[in-house]
Copies of this chain bind each other. A is one copy, B any other.
Amino acid sequence: MSFAELDHLCRRLEALDHAQSMLGVDEAVNMPDGGGEKRAEAMSALASMAHEMATAPQIAGWIGAAEQEDLDHAQKAAVAEFKRAYINRTCLSSDFVARQVNARMRCEQLWRTLRARNDWKDFLPTFENVVSLAREEAARRAEVLKLSPYDAMVEQYDPGSRTAEITRVFTDLKAFLKGFIPEALEAQARRRAAHPLKPFAGPFPAEKQKALGLELMTAVGFDFHHGRLDVSHHPFCGGVPSDVRMTTRYRTDEFLSSLMGILHETGHGLYEQNLPHDLAHWPSAKARGMAMHESQSLLQEMQLSRRPEFWAFVLPKARDILGLEGVSADDVLAHVHRVERGFIRVDADEATYPLHVILRFEIEQELVTGKLMPADVPEVWNAKMQDYLGLSTAGNYKDGPMQDVHWPSGAFGYFPSYTLGAMMAAQQWAAVERAVPDAAAQVARGDFSAINGWRKENIWSKASTLSTPEIMRQATGEPLNARHFEAHLKARYLG
């Protein structure tokens, strides 16, 4: 039984993945500094073992034979997804991968030093090497997958999404945002003139923020029997579906950044916790790529937790726990609905964020296809920033093309996921409101059962048995459509 061989392999790969995930969590949350060197050695050895196991040549034969076996529907889907992943994993020679890992590590290390110094010139040669290898990688993937080079790169992060589709929705969205952002800023100025932005009167002790965070995580459906919340320098959602490890960090001068971060990560956590338990060790039962994952965190954070109805539910609890004398829901919403043009993607609000992503999407496509040379990136970056957000990055590399780790680490094709996720979240929420007409009123009552029921049925339970676009089509009745996200922004910022 070749299915049985694959099943055994999947169990072992799952065990190695479990170990790597949990060691990663421990490293961020608990590990003392001195443990780092041996931890890195162990992680690297485990990764090598997993890679060897997952790319062994005999697997191709097992897949071929399993496809001929008498399998049920779920088993067939499992083998199909395994095959897709196996092809993506094995299409590069190990010699090429080794060269690439070295180049990426070198570039990433250099980036850490040179970014702080705003030193594009010394960074460029190493970056050129990474881009050149990315082109080689894209060409090889394209050949094997019968896709265009950039599509073949996107396929790793967001299976099934294609440049043509992404371009269609991004073009629509870009045109919209270029007009929308000035309008939103004007509307915000008017609101602030009538009702000035009020700073919060802290301090907010970490234990109290944690208590509120835990209460809200529980309210929105996080299962603490299968997960926990810790503290780390960079917040994340890690662990495994049966044991989701979320982190946050607390500032004591305000409480919103941690709370919104917790709710964002809880969206990831709910997805993981509600993946199917059958064949859970197969890749078909894992979350469906980066864009879908981001749609779950953004549905939780942007669609649910930044709505006025959510704050109707939260404010009494926040008052009980944190104090917040004289703070109204409108005061909080003025903070969580802030729009501001800025240089830095990770600091951007939901309205300006997509322009940061579209800029990168446009540039990285041309880098991968060879239409743009790495040396020309700063100039193009600056021109686009001026066009999209009215900001100049001339000579300011560290807040321009050197701000993200993605390119130095060779991750081309990843950026679109963020904004695809935001659009998917808006489209999913629109579908929730059609299926559960009083969904927003349920949020105001702190009742997330029907909403989570829809998400479980339409998103979480699908795991990786379908492509991202197909899950969206089945869940919302249409392909990805920018108008839901646009309508959301208009309602929130102009309404």
Q: Which residues from chain A sit less than 8 Å from chain B, CB to CB? A: 11-12, 14-16, 18-20, 22-23, 26, 30-35, 37-39, 41-46, 48-49, 223-228, 230, 239-243, 280
Query: Given A26-B26, A38-B242, A243-B39, does the pair A12, B226 have CB atoms closer than 8 Å?
Result: no
User: In the docked arrangement, what's the CA distance between A46 and B45, Å?
Assistant: 13
Interface of A is mostly: helix
Inter-chain contacts of A224 with B (CB < 8 A) = 32
Q: Are B37 and A242 in contact (CB under 8 A)?
A: yes
Min CB–CB distance A369 → chain B (angstroms): 39
Q: Are B34 and A243 in contact (CB under 8 A)?
A: yes
Q: Are A42 and B30 in contact (CB under 8 A)?
A: no
User: In the docked arrangement, what's the CA distance between A26 and B19, Å?
Assistant: 11
Query: Given A18-B39, A42-B19, does the pair A49, B12 have CB atoms closer than 8 Å?
Result: yes
Query: Given A19-B42, A42-B19, does the pair A33, B228 have CB atoms closer than 8 Å?
Result: no
- 20 further A-B contacts with Cβ under 8 Å, apart from A34-B242, A38-B243, are A11-B45, A12-B45, A12-B48, A14-B42, A15-B42, A15-B45, A16-B46, A19-B19, A22-B22, A22-B23, A32-B225, A34-B223, A34-B225, A34-B226, A35-B240, A35-B243, A38-B240, A38-B280, A39-B242, A39-B243
Q: Are A46 and B22 in contact (CB under 8 A)?
A: no
User: In the docked arrangement, what's the CA distance between A5 and B104, Å?
Assistant: 28
Inter-chain contacts of A44 with B (CB < 8 A) = 15
Min CB–CB distance A25 → chain B (angstroms): 8
For A35, give its contact among B19, B20, B33, B242 (CB under 8 Å).
B242
A-B contact pairs, 7 of them (CB 8 A): A14-B42, A15-B45, A18-B42, A22-B23, A26-B26, A35-B242, A37-B242
Identify the interface centre among A11, A43, A227, A243: most chain B CB within 10 Å of its CB: A243
User: In the docked arrangement, what's the CA distance between A487 and B32, Å?
Assistant: 41
Q: Are B228 and A14 in contact (CB under 8 A)?
A: no
Question: 8 shortest A-B CB distances, which residue pairs?
Answer: A35-B243, A15-B45, A19-B19, A34-B225, A18-B42, A34-B226, A38-B242, A15-B42
For A228, give its contact among B32, B38, B43, B48 (CB under 8 Å).
B32
Min CB–CB distance A341 → chain B (angstroms): 42
Q: Are B38 and A18 in contact (CB under 8 A)?
A: yes
Inter-chain contacts of A32 with B (CB < 8 A) = 224-228, 243
Min CB–CB distance A130 → chain B (angstroms): 28
Inter-chain contacts of A33 with B (CB < 8 A) = 225
Inter-chain contacts of A242 with B (CB < 8 A) = 34-35, 37-39
Inter-chain contacts of A225 with B (CB < 8 A) = 32-34
Min CB–CB distance A247 → chain B (angstroms): 12
Inter-chain contacts of A31 with B (CB < 8 A) = 243
User: In the docked arrangement, what's the CA distance between A136 and B280, Å?
Assistant: 39
Q: Are A15 and B226 in contact (CB under 8 A)?
A: no
Inter-chain contacts of A41 with B (CB < 8 A) = 11, 14-15
Min CB–CB distance A454 → chain B (angstroms): 24
User: In the docked arrangement, what's the CA distance between A227 and B34, Å?
Assistant: 8
Min CB–CB distance A481 → chain B (angstroms): 38
Min CB–CB distance A205 → chain B (angstroms): 15
User: In the docked arrangement, what's the CA distance between A38 and B43, Å?
Assistant: 20
User: In the docked arrangement, what's the CA distance between A413 and B361, Å?
Assistant: 65
Identify the interface centre among A16, A223, A227, A241: most chain B CB within 10 Å of its CB: A16
Min CB–CB distance A184 → chain B (angstroms): 42
Inter-chain contacts of A15 with B (CB < 8 A) = 41-46, 49
